[in-house]
Amino acid sequence: MSEFRWGIFGTGAISIKFAAAVAAAPGMKVEFVASRSAQTANDFAGRVGIPKAIEGYAEAARQGGVDAIYIATPPSEHHKHALLCIAAGIPVLVEKPFATSRVEAMEMAGAARDASVFAMEGMWTRFLPASLALKDAIASGRIGVPHLVSGSFGTSKAVDPASGSFDPRRSGGALAHLGVYPLSLAQWLFGSPESLMATGQLGSTGVDEDIAIQLRYPGGVIGSFYTSIRAWAPNDFQVMGTHGMLGFHGPIIRPVGLCAWQCKPIGTPGAGFGLKARIKESSTVHRVAQALGIGTRRSGKVFRHRYRGNGFIHEIEEVVRCVRAGQVESATMPLDDSISVATSVEQVRKIISGSGTSP
């Protein structure tokens, strides 16, 4: 089978990781990198070992010569650059977030479907072994009926107006860069939310810096997520059900396994009530209980599900498989899912900015 050739739009840190994953994979190579500046493209190509540098994204799409293009430009440019490639008949992998609004996402999906050109959002965490194991475990009933899903993704950054995270013109903010992870994972597991509430605050540069979101999914599953670019968070993700809980082992962005807690509901045969419910209310037994940690949540059993390389290879292989099969979209990251998440993001932004209200 012939070598699968990639082009890259953008020269940021994420493009370096992507290029490294392709370089380590058999049967693939990065053919070119494109940037607005010829100097930037040449510097990146020389540093990463890419044979060709192209000035201008429209020119790169016109030249083509690749099987797919990875779009890793700022989120504000995803819509324009994806449409350029799709119009040229080139499949695209668009780094998250897919788009900055529902309208943009629908236009990108519509263009891809109309032209029968593959397009997918680069939500790479969906393709990691731990994430797939989580979805399978929930579907198998391992924790009974899911009732709650929670997650957080936050990191404390010094405010820098020149940084993409803090620049509203490049669609910066906690939601676009971090919050889409729990939103996309929950949408994948439970479907599009039926209702959404949010609160948050804008920073000095005008982007959302801290956000809390609550959602209701089909089947009555309640979601609660936090994201921030000004505060550290556990960077976790858990699904809680009637018979236990499943959570990522490792950070939400790149889990390396699952933690599982399993227990029958209290009051069912064989469930028991635990030592804490049976001990007498005396200071002695409470001192013992505190020393032993009785009544606290024990560590879950860990199941390892390691990813390969730096993790990007899993979504890359999905693109290659779909393109070679003549598919327009991925079953794991379908375009309707990207539209749904873009819709949720837009709703949250309207609430935070004051132009919308929580129901």
Strand-pairing partners, residue 239, are 149, 246
Q: How far apart, in whole angstroms, are the C-alpha atoms of residue 200 and residue 158?
A: 18
Cis amide prior to 97 (ω within 30 degrees): yes
Mean pLDDT of the chain: 93
Tens place of pLDDT for every residue, the chain, 359 residues?
789 999 999 999 999 999 999 999 999 999 999 999 999 999 999 999 999 999 999 999 999 999 999 999 999 999 999 999 999 999 999 999 999 999 999 999 999 999 999 999 999 999 999 999 999 999 999 999 999 999 999 999 999 999 999 999 999 999 999 999 999 999 999 999 999 999 999 999 999 999 999 999 999 999 999 999 999 999 999 999 999 999 999 999 999 999 999 888 888 876 654 445 454 556 776 676 667 665 555 668 999 999 999 999 999 999 999 999 999 999 999 999 999 999 999 999 999 988 555 54
pLDDT of residue 288: 67
Q: How far apart, in whole angstroms, are the C-alpha atoms of residue 105 and residue 124?
A: 18
Q: How far apart, in whole angstroms, are the C-alpha atoms of residue 43 and residue 37?
A: 10
Question: pLDDT tens digits, residue range 36-60?
Answer: 999 999 999 999 999 999 999 999 9
Q: How far apart, in whole angstroms, are the C-alpha atoms of residue 115 and residue 102?
A: 20
Q: How far apart, in whole angstroms, are the C-alpha atoms of residue 245 and residue 317?
A: 30
pLDDT of residue 253: 95
Q: What are phi and psi of 2, to 5 degrees?
A: -70, 160
CA 322 to mean position of chain CA atoms? 20
Burial zone of 108 (CB within 10 Å; 0-12 exposed, 13-18 middle, 19+ buried): buried
Strand-pairing partners, residue 197, are 214
- pTM above the 0.85 mark? yes
Burial zone of 234 (CB within 10 Å; 0-12 exposed, 13-18 middle, 19+ buried): middle
Taking each helix axis from N to C terminus, what angle separates 38-48 and 13-23, rounded to the nearest 10 degrees? Answer: 40
Question: pLDDT tens digits, residue range 188-232?
Answer: 999 999 999 999 999 999 999 999 999 999 999 999 999 999 999
